[in-house]
Amino acid sequence: MRVIKHYRIHLGTLAWIMHRLSGLGLIFYLILHIWVIHHLIKGEKSFDEIMEFLSTPLFKFLEIGLIGVIFYHLYNGLRVTLIDMGVLVERQKLLFAIAVVVWLITWFAVAAVMVSRFGGLSLS
C-alpha cells in the first residue's frame, strides 16, 4: 500500500492511460458498429428495425458518451503525434491543456445538438 501511496500519476501518464482505455473502448464499439450497419445487407426493414431498437433514450445517452470518448482519443492522438514529430515537446503540458479544452468544447457542442433532437427530427 505504501508503494501506491507514493506513486504519483503525472499528467502525461494520465493522458496515456486514458488514451489506451478510450482506444480499447473504441475498437469494441467499431466492431459492434460494423455489426449494426451490416443490417443494411438484409434490406430496409431489417435496418429500420435495428435503428428503431437503438433510438431509445439509453442508446442516445450512450451515444453522447461515445462522442466524448472519440473526441478525447482524437485530440490526444494528435497531441501525441505532434510530440513524436518533435513539435512543442517542451510545451507538452500546454498542448495537453489545449487538447482538453478543445475536447470539452467540441464534445459539449455536439452533445447539445444531440440533446436538442431528443424529441426526434422531422421524418420527411
Partner 1 sequence: MKYRETVRSGGALLWFFQRVTGIYLAVVLFLHVIILHVALKEELSFAAIAERVATPLWKTIDISFLLVALFHGLFGTWIVLDDYIHKGWARILLFGLISIVALISVTLGILTLIPFTPGG
Measured from the CB of residue 82, what is the shortest distance to partner 1 in angstroms? Answer: 10
Minimum CB distance to partner 1 smaller for 30 or for 94: 30
Measured from the CB of residue 55, what is the shortest distance to partner 1 in angstroms? Answer: 8
CA geometry: angle 73, 29, 45, nearest 5 deg:
135
Distance separating alpha carbons of residues 33 and 31, to the nearest angstrom: 5
Measured from the CB of residue 20, what is the shortest distance to partner 1 in angstroms? Answer: 5
Q: How far is CA 45 from CA 40, 66, 121, in A?
A: 9, 26, 20
Measured from the CB of residue 78, what is the shortest distance to partner 1 in angstroms? Answer: 6
- Contact (CB, 8 A) for 72 and 25: no
Residue 94, Cβ density class (10 Å: 0-12 exposed, 13-18 middle, ≥19 buried): exposed
Q: Is 24 in the site for partner 1 (CB under 8 A)?
A: yes
Binding footprint of partner 1 on the chain (CB under 8 A): 20, 23-24, 26-27, 30-31, 34-35, 37-38, 40-41, 44, 47-48, 51, 63, 67, 70, 74, 77-78, 81, 84, 110, 113-114, 117, 120-124
